[in-house]
Amino acid sequence: MADQLIQCVPNFSEGRRFEVIESIIGPFKQTKGCNLLDHRADGDHNRLVVTLVGSPGPIQDALIQAAKIAIDHIDLNTHQGGHPRVGAVDVIPFVPLRNITMDECVALAHTFGECYHKETGIPVYFYEAAAKRPDRSRLEVVRRGQYEVLKTEAAENPDRHPDVGGPGLHATAGATVVGARKFLIAFNVNLDTKDLKVAQTIARFVRSSSGGLCHVKGIALSLEERGMTQVSMNLVDFKKNSLYRVVEMIRMEANRWGVNIVETEIYGMIPAEAILDSAAYYLQLRDFSAKQVVEMSLLDLMGQEE
């Protein structure tokens, strides 16, 4: 059987303490078969996003080790940051890349969730394709009210009990949301205004849940250290809504408020196809193909020779 290859993008509720961040990513660097491709910490969000690629077994082993470190160092009762969260280890999604199906990633998420709870004592919710209840497929529904609300409701309301463990959350580390999903692009647009209400209006305009663009999730955050606000988004299907379309829709709405886009951010990693699609749009390229990019053609050739 050919080797299975997955991507995993664990999110930790720590973006400010360098020594803690380095400790958390340590197991990902040290575990053979688990490849650390990227890690990004944001102080305003107070969040660490890690991108891993490798075989399911080594990635799961490294996740357990990293989670134990995070649990020892992160207390959600004192944690503050702009990004929604319910856990010290907030979310762990598995993404199929090669020789593994989405259904197999769902099974992987369920098996891992049980093992994770046994090893750490942290309750687990399942989301996206791994959701065991239809209403929990959307991450924002699971995280409704964040840790501060969920820690009470999980203990008292059966409808909010975790899927594994509980019913109450861990006293300091909350819960972890584990899932299986398609490739997602975390994309932020920073605006030259400190007015959070303006950014919130723009976020509502662009996200699908408010009648905006399909396959786009978005919230508004204040970037106090930079004197800006941010529309922070997840593009859950970039083939159906491109980066350039999101940018231009935000630009159009921002103009109504006399606000400009300062910069955009890709948080984590992104498929080349998504970048090339927007490059072709802004350069107004005619009959452009990814095969015209030297590196893409070389990668394709190397794949054929394996």
For residue range 249-282, what is the model confidence (pLDDT) as tens digits? 999 999 999 999 999 999 989 989 999 999 999 9
- Does residue 51 sit in the same domain as residue 134? yes
Cα–Cα dist 191/189, whole Å: 7
pTM: predicted TM-score of the whole model, two decimal places:
0.90
- Provide the pLDDT for residue 303: 63
- Does residue 196 sit in the same domain as residue 99? no
Q: In 10 A of CB 43, how many CB atoms?
A: 15
- Does residue 56 sit in the same domain as residue 191? no
- Does residue 254 sit in the same domain as residue 278? no
- Does residue 11 sit in the same domain as residue 110? yes
- Does residue 51 sit in the same domain as residue 125? yes
- Does residue 189 sit in the same domain as residue 284? no
Q: Which two tokens stand for residue 26?
A: 């340590």
Residue 304 in this model has a pLDDT that exceeds 70:
no
Residues whose CB is less than 8 angstroms from the CB of residue 236 and which lie 6 or more positions away in sequence, other chains included: 181, 182, 184, 215, 216, 217
Strand 47-54 with 11-12, pairing = antiparallel
- Catalytic residue, chosen from 39, 83, 110, 117, is 83
- Does residue 292 sit in the same domain as residue 202? no
Last residue of a domain, one of 116, 151, 180: 180
Instruction: List pLDDT tens digits, range 86-140.
Output: 999 999 999 999 999 999 999 999 999 999 999 999 999 999 999 999 999 999 9
Instruction: List pLDDT tens digits, range 41-64.
Output: 999 999 999 999 999 999 999 999
CATH, residue 76: 3.30.990.10
- Provide the pLDDT for residue 291: 87
- Does residue 228 sit in the same domain as residue 175? no
Does residue 45 carry a catalytic annotation? Answer: no
- Provide the pLDDT for residue 305: 54
User: Which amino acid makes up residue 264?
Assistant: T
Domain span at residue 35 reads 5-180
Helix boundaries (H) for 97-145: 102-120, 139-142
- Provide the pLDDT for residue 306: 52
| 46: three-class secondary structure by DSSP | coil
- Does residue 255 sit in the same domain as residue 305? no
Instruction: List pLDDT tens digits, range 286-302.
Output: 999 888 989 888 877 77
Q: How far is CA 305 from CA 3, 57, 294, 298, in A?
A: 17, 27, 17, 11
CATH, residue 193: 3.30.70.670
Q: What are phi and psi of 180, to 5 degrees?
A: -135, 135
| 134: three-class secondary structure by DSSP | helix
Last residue of a domain, one of 126, 159, 180: 180
- Does residue 233 sit in the same domain as residue 252? yes
Number of domains, the chain: 3
- Does residue 172 sit in the same domain as residue 233? no
User: Which amino acid makes up residue 144?
Assistant: R
Taken as a whole, the chain contains a residue count of 306
Burial of 164 (0-12, 13-18, 19+ CB in 10 A): buried
Last residue of a domain, one of 160, 180, 200: 180
Burial 67-102 (b: 16+ CB within 10 A, else e): bbbbbebbebeebebbbbbbbbbbbbbbbbeeebeb
- Contact of 273 with 215, CB cutoff 8 Å: no
Residue 2 in this model has a pLDDT that exceeds 80:
no
Instruction: Give the residue-averaged pLDDT of 71-89.
Output: 97
What is the distance in angstroms between the CA of the first residue and the CA of the last residue of the chain? Answer: 16
Strand 34-42 with 176-180, pairing = unpaired
Residues of the chain above pLDDT 90, percent: 88
